[in-house]
Chain A
């Protein structure tokens, strides 16, 4: 059974710093991996989607990588800003099952201090 882990659970950095959020998964037979952002009391906003055949995806200051062999994905945020403060969730979708098998990590709560 797929398990997704995000470490650390919380991270605080000063504004302007580059940072990396980590996501690990136990079953390398993933179809894709998606990163989301969640603001307090709000829904999830999709940030990046990486297919199993891809190594990375980029959007603005965000870059997500995928290494299936090691069971890891990272979300790199460049030049962090206070507006980046939120909880970041990764979720893995597996092959061979129904579409109801998006497995989430518990998230990393990011705080960017001005």
Chain B
């Protein structure tokens, strides 16, 4: 079955540490996105990529980095510069604005 796989489901980060969240899709979608979800705040866009080797900052990109070396993969690195990284992170993909978005099951990141 086609879909989006996010891993790990739960991730714990120590202060000052970089961590990478994985997002893989087998839907053959060109565009991929990372959102952050906090209680009571809704989803906010971190980064998005419309094509391989190209990506754009979203509304809250500071403290995050991404790469898009393959169509299927769009990993998100949460760097030590992100001061409040505890949140639920959602990856999505789309084949075009006409067709809507498909989301993964999320990664919950906690700072310990």
Contacts and interface: CB of A to CB of B under 8 A. Distances in A.
Interface of A: 31-32, 34, 36, 41-46, 49, 51, 89, 91, 93, 98-100, 102, 104-107
A46 B103 CA distance: 8
Contacts of B96: 99
Secondary structure of the B contact surface, majority rule: strand
Interface stretch (B38-46, B68-76, B78-86): B38-46
- Main secondary structure, interface of A, reads strand
Interface of B: 6, 31, 33, 40-43, 45, 48, 50, 56, 58, 88, 90, 92, 94, 96-106, 108
Contacts, number: 60
A89 B98 CA distance: 19
A49 B43 contact: no
A44 B94 contact: no
